[in-house]
Copies of this chain bind each other. A is one copy, B any other.
């Protein structure tokens, strides 16, 4: 069955490469982005791409795509595709994204940008070359589009908590806490790059840069694999990535950040918790309650719990009346809307591949420090900015 696209022929044509978890979430975003506000740029949901022809056809139908395809390179040749949304596993990001940029397609790459620093640098080079002739790119740090976190950033930027001194950031999940959970490709270094570090700390480092508008200059770190062997299909196998990681980061603005990520934290599901302490206020957030932000602003002595659903809150104007909460999926819809708005206005979307690379450099420094008994590793200035059209 073929589902026609849901927008005018002049709207950008989108292809999503990958139809697993992220492909499904991005499909949801493309399906809903046009509804957010009158006159917003619609999209043509052209094609969903995957390796298994039958499975991707079912998914395309289910998620509302006009077609499915198995050959992503052929899709890059099509004139009716303007945007390529890269939702494949991390070790394929560079290949697909670079080819798409070279084919003149605007690209969104899921986070983290790549599995290695080298790949990330090549992607940045490709993004810069493409940008020179108007082809745009973005890395998919969707949590920048949580309204509460966008509001948090506004408060920091407006000086309402003063000079930021301490950030506490932790991303805790429990899906590997059971030592009998089986081996997966995500626990093999050659496929996954790293463990909790790339998966979870990438979000955390991006938020530090986003919320503070500061760069990380140095790190101390420790990583640990608590369950070192797990049952594979043919017997026990070695786990070769981290289960958890800890780091302190220093920023060029003088702040100190403590970071902890784990997939072993029993009874925590998706607990991305952020606390920011400044000289005259503080902020507190938890992804499991993503519509709330606790704020102590302008010298306030206690936290006020704000339900971030008012029309003047970031990203909220296209949704429902106050008090009607959004889901996790809305972050991708906001991301798609911001990307389309950038394309329409000719501005550069953010976060850029350079932002993705900056995160990658911090992650690499964390691994280097962890391998060197935790001693300080300095992080090379990336020379990038986090400013861009995502500024709600």
Query: Interface on A for B, CB 8 Å cutoff?
Result: 1, 3-8, 21, 24-25, 27-28, 31-32, 34-35, 37-40, 42, 58-59, 61-64, 161-162, 165-166, 168, 170, 172-173, 175, 177-179, 220, 222, 224, 226, 244, 246, 248, 254, 256, 258, 260, 262, 264-271, 277-282, 287-292, 296, 300-307, 309-310, 320-330, 369, 372-376
Contact = CB atoms under 8 A, between A and B. Distances in A.
Given A28-B32, A175-B322, A265 B282 contact: yes
B307 A305 contact: no
A300 B289 contact: no
11 contacts: A28-B35, A39-B58, A165-B244, A168-B170, A178-B279, A258-B258, A266-B282, A301-B310, A302-B304, A325-B327, A325-B328
A65 to B, nearest CB: 10
A327 B327 CA distance: 4
Nearest to A270: B323
B256 A258 contact: no
A320 B372 CA distance: 38
B325 A320 contact: no
A326 B328 contact: yes
Nearest to A9: B1
A377 to B, nearest CB: 9
A6 B4 contact: yes
B279 A177 contact: yes
A159 to B, nearest CB: 13
B260 A168 contact: yes
10 A-B pairs with the lowest CB-CB distances in the bound complex, closest first: A270-B323, A269-B323, A327-B327, A267-B296, A220-B374, A304-B304, A324-B328, A4-B4, A375-B375, A326-B327
B8 A6 contact: no
Question: Which of A63, A177, A281, A287 lies at the interface centre, i.e. has the most chain B CB atoms within 10 A of its CB?
Answer: A177
A42 B35 CA distance: 19
Given A282-B265, A327-B327, A1 B8 contact: yes
B322 A328 contact: no
Given A3-B7, A6-B64, A266 B281 contact: yes
Nearest to A289: B289
B244 A256 contact: yes
A27 B21 contact: no
Question: Which of A40, A226, A266 lies at the interface centre, i.e. has the most chain B CB atoms within 10 A of its CB?
Answer: A266
Contacts of A290: 325
Contacts of A165: 226, 244, 264
